[in-house]
Amino acid sequence: MGNRQAVLSPEKLELYQECSFFTKNEIIKLYHRFRALDPDIVPSFMPNDCVESILIPPNVIYKMSELQANPFLERVVKIFSKDGSGHMNFENFLDMFNVLNDQAPIDLKAIYAYKIFDSDNDESLKTNDLKMAIQKLTRNQLTETEMSTVVEKVLEESEMDDDCEISFMEFEHVVTRSPDFKSTFHLRI
């Protein structure tokens, strides 16, 4: 590693490498990206006992160029933040990039995509969640009637047991067969 200054302890770096799809260099790069969000809050070297408590507020994360175009920006940040508030520590940040990374398997992406679409957090996708998702995807361009047609269509295509809600299994079945899913649910580092 030459004389480059460490940003994380060797144990943490090792651990993050084991628990993610990233190399140590990529993790260091992500740490620099995290620190750049607010160098006054994030130290140049992260002591082990501060990793969980040093938080970046959601409004700062929303401004990241990698995330800005994402219609589900707020949901994404909330889902990956530890307490659901949108405040992120470095581990949350790393997790977010890890799941959205190209190397992450599609079934892992599907788990998080389901949570992101489940806007009322009841672990089921019903009409209200689908409406919210479609509104975001279409940037509120649809009329009420068009919206209902799209919701019906989505249910029709995903539903297997006709209970008017999309279970995780039904969701996974659809998205893992969709050629667009993996490419739209990603974030480059």
- Where does this chain bind Ca ion (CB under 5 A)? 118, 120, 122, 124, 129, 159, 161, 163
Distance (Å) of CA 105 to CA 101, 112, 176: 9, 12, 10
Q: How far is the CB of 138 from Ca ion (least distance, A)?
A: 19
The amino acid at 129: D
Q: How far is the CB of 125 from Ca ion (least distance, A)?
A: 6
Indicate the residue among 107 and 120 with the shorter CB distance to Ca ion: 120
Q: How far is the CB of 174 from Ca ion (least distance, A)?
A: 11
Indicate the residue among 96 and 155 with the shorter CB distance to Ca ion: 155
Indicate the residue among 23 and 148 with the shorter CB distance to Ca ion: 148
Q: How far is the CB of 12 from Ca ion (least distance, A)?
A: 35
Indicate the residue among 11 and 156 with the shorter CB distance to Ca ion: 156
Indicate the residue among 161 and 180 with the shorter CB distance to Ca ion: 161
Q: How far is the CB of 123 from Ca ion (least distance, A)?
A: 7
For 85-110, the DSSP string reads: SS-B-HHHHHHHHHHHSTTS-HHHHH
Q: How far is the CB of 63 from Ca ion (least distance, A)?
A: 28
Q: For residue 42, what are its two tokens?
A: 């994030």
Residue labelled with tokens 């508030």: 85
Indicate the residue among 73 and 154 with the shorter CB distance to Ca ion: 154
Among residues 157, 154, 127, 131, which one has the least CA distance to residue 143? 131
* Dihedral in degrees, nearest 10, Cα atoms 119, 79, 110, 32: 150
CA distance 20 to 55: 20
Q: What contacts 119, CB < 8 A, 6 or more positions away?
A: 75, 128, 129, 132, 133
Q: What are residue 140's DSSP bridge partners?
A: none
